[in-house]
Amino acid sequence: MKRLLKGTGIFTLAVSGMAFWMFMTARQRNVRLHIMDIAGGTHRQKNLSVFFISDIHRRVIDNRLIKKIKKHGDVDVVIIGGDLAENGVPIKRVQQNVEKLAALGKAVYYIWGNNDREVGEGAIRQIFEACHGHILDNENALIPGHPDWIIAGTDDPSSKNVDINAALRGLDPDKYSLWVTHTPSLFRKVREQTNPTVLLAGHTHGGQIRLGPFGLQDKGAFTIHGQTAQLISNGYGTSILPLRFGAPPECHILHIHYGLKDGN
């Protein structure tokens, strides 16, 4: 009996310790730095600095994270890749998170995730309007200060409102393009209709809880194939359980070194 009680106690301590470790892992503030060089040897070069964060959910964007981001230098564009919030998140927290992120760059862009409308679409639209942000509702826009670049974004499939053709409307094929979708499942459809320079997505949480190479979703990764970069983020927050294992939280800074087009 004593051995059974001792064994049960050790097992309980081990499980509690693991759960605490997973909880603390989920609270990490990891900022990943990625470099992409598409200058092509030209002497007329410029750098575009992009900050990307997705799947914030219930987390708070605090000053410790902001300081980490600023250590990497100035940011041109801030992109919030969906699931900024979910049901039960106070709208005041959403507002404060957006205000802190928007202050990092010269322009802020946002696309809908599958959970965002749970806190009220109108409230989120008001927040971005107050921050002079741009919600990419199946549309594209020129990036301020970088006339060779277009950013395009789609709604989330959960809305049944995805319209890639609308997002392509008026897009100049000779410009570099940065495409944002909440779910990477839309990457294939984007590639079928255009030649993106950068693809960004989140949604998967990298599986959130993984056992080695095994998880419900693939682990997030940044890859470059030829002149196209693809970033699928593990995301910054968590869903259902505030725990992570094998897929730590992350946000990203992407430095793109590119050659200027003729006339710019």
| Token digits of residue 244 | 């992570």
CB 87 within 8 A of CB 63: no
**Whole-model pTM over 0.75:** yes
Kindly provide the residue ranges of all beta strands, DSSP E only, lying in 132-201, ordered along the sequence. 134-135, 139-143, 146-153, 176-180, 198-201
Nearest to 53 by CA among 85, 81, 95: 81
* DSSP-assigned letters across all residues of 118-144: GG-HHHHHHHHHHTT-EE-SSEEEEET
**167: buried, middle or exposed (CB in 10 Å: 19+, 13-18, 0-12)?**
buried
Q: How many residues does the chain have?
A: 264
Domains of the chain: 2-259 (3.60.21.10)
- pLDDT value at residue 41: 61
- pLDDT value at residue 20: 82
Confidence band of 226 (pLDDT split at 50, 70, 90): confident
Distance CA 125, CA 137 (A): 11
- pLDDT value at residue 22: 85
Give residue-wise pLDDT tens across range 206-223. 999 998 888 889 999 999
- pLDDT value at residue 12: 61
Res 105 pLDDT > 60: yes
Res 43 pLDDT > 90: no
- pLDDT value at residue 153: 97
- pLDDT value at residue 149: 96
- pLDDT value at residue 21: 87
- pLDDT value at residue 2: 58
Res 1 pLDDT > 80: no
| Token digits of residue 60 | 């708070």
